């Protein structure tokens, strides 16, 4: 390979032919700098060295999050990301304020909004990084640990100090994946809680005006003001639920983190692959790391945990869908169209689901959103708002996957709280919580 234009490998070859890093983790990093596959030929070598130093710089934990943030912002900057104007910030604040007023009539949960924000894509990345750390680091640690365990003992002794380099290399791969994934996701998300998880700071209702405008442009029959208000209603509803159900935020984030931490890796062929690696050749080690060593395989226990997590996500999204539908029923004629558009958008998946599937083998797609919304609406119709929202008092009370199979029959034979005395209701609740164990008690 030559650095000189017209040198070897520069004439009569495609852009991939002079790429010595094809198939390695560095190919993706270089492409983000304008080289290899981006129509720019060789990347700028100064930028290359700076990026390599960043990836392998000392840092706490398995992933260098300064590098993740930088890569994510570079990826997001490939599309225009204008600074949020004062008018846009004011419009978001007004929409959230009106949304909260409308939601007051639909649920007993008080407002969970303490501040509002209008974020650029770059600001979304920075503001959500603290939660991404909790979500991603367990899988990065599991991958590095699996590599060390799969390495033959004689190779460990031979590798010596190179083991640390392998750990850094696996962390660099994860940083590259996370950075590019978050950069793509930043161009798609509409609010802080758009993917069902509370990614932003507690109590801050945030929307991304640039992405909201792009979303509204795809709906020519709906005004931009209606789109903004509808999305503000969803964001404010998420904030109410997470504030009104204190255990829910940690429950969801913790479930994703635990899923990643317990990920089993298929190491059956890993030892054989590692025996073929020349430990004195960094390029060979990188090729091995990129060659499928880190293919995660969910265990049976994780598959069961994943089903429960997916059900909880569906219940969150279904509850939001239900209360927003209530709030807009008599006020926003375009709400039905917006509801269906959002439902399809969430069910179809996008960068958010692709990012999670890549990083932790987990798709955050509420496949059963419609069933969950039907369940919450049916329960409210039969027993009232208090009964519907009271189900969130404990994770043991939540509907199961079987309940979503028959959403209209959930607690069909139970007595509405209003028909019980206060003492009877409290006693019944204590029995449910004390005797439920790990299973949800029946009503």
Q: Which residue would you say has higher pLDDT here, 65 or 278? A: 65
**Biggest alpha carbon–alpha carbon distance for the chain:** 87
Q: Which residue would you say has higher pLDDT here, 122 or 21? A: 122
pLDDT at residue 426, as a whole number: 59
The residue to which tokens 């990345």 are assigned: 125
Q: Which residue would you say has higher pLDDT here, 269 or 230? A: 230
In whole angstroms, give the CA distance from residue 285 to residue 162.
Answer: 10
280 has pLDDT over 80: no
pLDDT at residue 235, as a whole number: 98
What's 191's DSSP letter?
B
Closest CA to 137 of 185, 180, 171: 171
Length of the chain in terms of residues written:
443
Q: Which residue would you say has higher pLDDT here, 244 or 288? A: 244
pLDDT at residue 42, as a whole number: 52
Please report which helix (H) or strand (E) contains residue 357, including its range.
helix 351-360
Q: Crossing angle of helices 248-261/121-150, nearest 10°?
A: 40
Q: Residue 86 is encoded by which pair of tokens?
A: 């004062």
Candidate from 139-153, 176-190, 372-386 with smallest mean pLDDT: 139-153
C-alpha angle 140-283-264 in degrees, rounded to nearest 5: 25
Task: Map residue 199 onto helix, strand or coil.
Answer: coil
Closest CA to 332 of 236, 194, 212, 231: 231
Cite the DSSP H helix spans in 262-350.
270-275, 282-289, 300-328, 335-348
pLDDT at residue 25, as a whole number: 44
What are 47-90's pLDDT values in tens digits? 545 555 555 555 566 788 988 899 899 989 999 999 999 999 99
Measured between alpha carbons, how far apart are the two ends of the chain, in Å? 71
In whole angstroms, give the CA distance from residue 367 to residue 441.
Answer: 25
Q: How confident is the model over 155-161, as a mean pLDDT?
A: 56
What residues does 205 pair with on adjacent strands?
A: 116
pLDDT at residue 174, as a whole number: 74
The residue to which tokens 């998420």 are assigned: 238
Q: What percent of the chain has pLDDT over 90?
A: 42
What are 393-407's pLDDT values in tens digits? 999 999 999 999 999
Closest CA to 235 of 210, 198, 263, 277: 198
Q: How confident is the model over 386-390, as a mean pLDDT?
A: 95
Q: How confident is the model over 12-25, as a mean pLDDT?
A: 49
E-state strands within 248-359: 264-265, 296-297
CB of 241 closer than 8 Å to CB of 112? yes
Rg for the chain, CA atoms, rounded: 25
Q: Residue 31 is encoded by which pair of tokens?
A: 């492409």
pLDDT at residue 177, as a whole number: 78
In whole angstroms, give the CA distance from residue 121 to residue 419.
Answer: 50
Task: Map residue 297 onto helix, strand or coil.
Answer: strand
Q: Is 45 exposed, middle or buried (0-12, 13-18, 19+ CB in 10 A)?
A: exposed
In whole angstroms, give the CA distance from residue 377 to residue 103.
Answer: 15
Closest CA to 335 of 321, 349, 350, 345: 321
Please report which helix (H) or strand (E) contains residue 103, including its range.
helix 86-103
Q: What percent of the chain has pLDDT over 70?
A: 59
pLDDT at residue 93, as a whole number: 98
In whole angstroms, give the CA distance from residue 214 to residue 27.
Answer: 31
pLDDT band at 33 (very low <50, low <70, confident <90, very high): very low
As a whole number, the mean pLDDT across the chain is: 76
Q: How confident is the model over 249-260, as a mean pLDDT?
A: 83
pLDDT at residue 296, as a whole number: 55
In whole angstroms, give the CA distance from residue 256 to residue 259.
Answer: 5
pLDDT at residue 302, as a whole number: 72
CB of 353 closer than 8 Å to CB of 365? yes
Would the CA dihedral through 243, 244, 247, 252 be positive or negative?
A: negative
Within 10 angstroms of residue 391's Cβ, the number of other Cβ atoms is: 20
- The pTM assigned to this predicted structure is 0.75
In whole angstroms, give the CA distance from residue 395 to residue 349.
Answer: 26
Phi, psi of 55 (to 5 degrees): -65, -35
The residue to which tokens 């979303």 are assigned: 215
What are 164-222's pLDDT values in tens digits? 555 566 667 777 778 888 888 899 899 999 988 899 999 999 999 999 999 999 998 99
Q: Which residue would you say has higher pLDDT here, 440 or 301? A: 301
């Amino acid at each position: 390979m030559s650095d000189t234009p017209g040198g070897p490998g520069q004439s009569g070859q495609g852009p991939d032919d002079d790429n010595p890093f094809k198939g390695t983790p560095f190919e993706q990093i270089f492409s983000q700098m304008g080289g290899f596959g981006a129509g720019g030929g060789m990347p700028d070598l100064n930028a290359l060295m700076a990026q390599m130093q960043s990836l392998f710089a000392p840092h706490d934990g398995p992933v260098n999050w300064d590098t993740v943030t930088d890569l994510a912002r570079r990826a997001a900057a490939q599309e225009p990301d204008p600074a949020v104007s004062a008018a846009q910030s004011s419009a978001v604040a007004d929409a959230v304020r009106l949304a909260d007023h409308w939601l007051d009539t639909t649920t007993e949960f008080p407002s969970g909004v303490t501040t509002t924000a209008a974020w650029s894509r770059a600001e979304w990345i920075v503001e959500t990084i603290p939660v991404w750390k909790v979500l991603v680091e367990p899988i990065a640690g599991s991958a590095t640990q699996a590599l060390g365990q799969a390495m033959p003992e004689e190779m460990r002794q031979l590798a010596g100090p190179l083991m640390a380099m392998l750990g850094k290399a696996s962390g660099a791969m994860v940083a590259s994946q996370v950075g590019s994934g978050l950069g793509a996701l930043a161009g798609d998300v509409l609010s802080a809680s758009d993917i069902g998880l509370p990614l932003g700071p507690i109590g801050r209702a945030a929307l991304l005006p640039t992405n909201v405008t792009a979303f509204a442009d795809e709906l020519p029959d709906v005004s931009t003001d209606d789109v903004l208000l509808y999305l503000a209603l969803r964001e404010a509803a998420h904030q109410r639920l997470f504030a009104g159900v204190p255990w829910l935020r940690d429950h969801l984030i913790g479930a994703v983190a635990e899923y990643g931490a317990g990920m089993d890796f298929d190491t059956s062929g890993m030892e054989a692959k590692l025996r073929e690696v020349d430990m004195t050749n960094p390029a060979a080690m990188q090729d091995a790391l990129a060659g499928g060593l880190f293919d995660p395989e969910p265990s049976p226990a994780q598959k069961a945990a994943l089903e429960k997590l997916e059900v909880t996500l569906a219940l969150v999204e279904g509850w939001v869908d239900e209360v927003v539908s209530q709030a807009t029923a008599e006020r926003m004629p375009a709400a039905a169209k917006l509801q269906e558009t959002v439902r399809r958008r969430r069910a179809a998946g996008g960068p958010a689901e692709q990012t999670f599937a890549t990083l932790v083998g987990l798709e955050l797609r509420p496949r059963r959103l419609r069933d969950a919304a039907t369940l919450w609406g049916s329960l409210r119709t039969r027993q009232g708002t208090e009964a519907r929202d009271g189900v969130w008092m404990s994770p043991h009370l939540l509907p199961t996957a079987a309940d979503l199979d028959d959403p209209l029959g959930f607690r069909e034979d139970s007595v509405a709280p209003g028909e019980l005395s206060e003492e009877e209701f409290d006693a019944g609740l204590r029995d449910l919580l004390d005797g439920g164990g790990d299973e949800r008690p029946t009503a």
